[in-house]
Structure 1
């Protein structure tokens, strides 16, 4: 996802919109909506939720409600609510918890731009629900009704990923009871609307993930050989640290997640698919104040879907994966795969 400097963001939020604060801290309750110029901050100060504009130079004047890192100087968005319905007039836009225990984002004309579509209505309480920004980076809507046991979760942003997977998030890879989940790229470097690329499971082989360009497969990841993949990375201050990508079952569904194997507080990490279709796990390098790629899925060669062409296949048993032909076929280009064009049937 795009990253912006904090000064531009601060000017957009705190100088351009001279409106009173509606909600603050990390809790949103009915009757006290979140307005432009106001943010929710997680209790540990790591994450913030509020209104943002992708670019101060944009002629579209589009704004969104999202979650970003509050504790670093590089403005980095990890979740966006109204990706397909940007706010064009911030005069009286707000995000509110309704009396029916829903989250609703509306603009100055009263149009609903986004809603959590919570199917559980809680009305038997003076304050039926509240929304909090958790330390994990998840925006959570909870019931406060007396009948609800220990504040039941009605909705949470972790169940509705956009282009980013955070530690503790699950990406659903199967579709027994619920639909598949994908990470969906931004449309452009400064456009959070849904882009062309998405990342998720191959519906026919849950141990393999795909990057899709629209509905067409674009790139495939190596198939999982176990339910836990350990990845080592080298980063200043965290030499020889490890992270993991894991598959696990919850009920009848299969999910993937990632996280850190080290018990240290370490760096901030996130997994994203960017607007060009690249999938990476990134860590915040505090000494350099930059995001560093800790792991990037292969983008070229045999990882590209259909790279070897008709009747060709990629042999991953080689030290360097190479294109080969099925039995009875030979390279079409007569140059030994210098420019893979697939295979043709042998004439002799």
Structure 2
């Protein structure tokens, strides 16, 4: 749950008294007071998760929300219940902290609320002095209260009492992808596990983009991808999420928010936001998983500070790609598959948004990779702690001695490259990424956030 992003203050949302699989276009303005009052305008074009009667009117504040049917399976907690769940916010239960506040591990059971089935939770307490405000808090309640998908973190409930703002999520035992991918020692992210995480995250984004009114996540990065006990990945932190374009609109114009290294170049330059902006962020994370480096790393030589600028030109070169792949997963993949995944990252990172695939296509591609990997003929032969990957010979080269020699040569080169001295990538871990803020788009009539 750890994150140090300074969230933005722009999105469209509204509270509805029922569960939905997409969300509506609403604008929010904060009013003084302790009851989270908001001003709502716009129309609803939601697609329901469950069939029921007519769409209820939008709730104007949390008090109205409590009196309405509410979100399905989202509970409203008192601050005292939050204190009990975290043992009075005990310091040793802190899971992480950042500009938003602090995240605690907690338990909600019958001692917290009579008759409540015991469940482990992660409780995020908003810091009133921090980067996030009521808008981001309300965005998370709104989006996660209405959305349900295996690859989105589940919102258990929330607390909005006096000045207190807390969110209660399902507890995900393995924390963030960032924590595991960039840990100094003992990395447990195998090649197959990384590919599964990439597929899970892609499914989460594809779900958001495929809603009746698309939702742009806007802050896709390793620290926002959480892992459960079985390393199933789920997207978290919807504070920057925003309604996508609708009708004849090609984009949404907004203030530039997010994290350096992950934001799409056209979004940074113009403030024009589309679903393809998320595809770029996905490409950055896929690249991080392939190479084992952070998107921004100033501890490296200057030309390698920005991972995409340094690595993208190398992704379509077999020899250079093998030289830069994460040595911690050496021998766990076929060169053929690694090349295909690298090519996918290359496409996602296209400077031209139209050159990037849709997330639904990314899901299809990754599923195809996974299926072929499971059915492939190569195997790992372990001998005294050493591993050798037996690569499948292409059908059209089965009877070609020269092709066979090239495959063997390629494998020998790969081994030699990884035997060379490595840099200190695992010795120095940087703080979380610097957040970026940009000026509002100057075009009249465009949204400010």
TM-score normalised per structure 2: 0.23
- Whose helix fraction is larger, Structure 1's or Structure 2's? 2
- Whose strand fraction is larger, Structure 1's or Structure 2's? 1
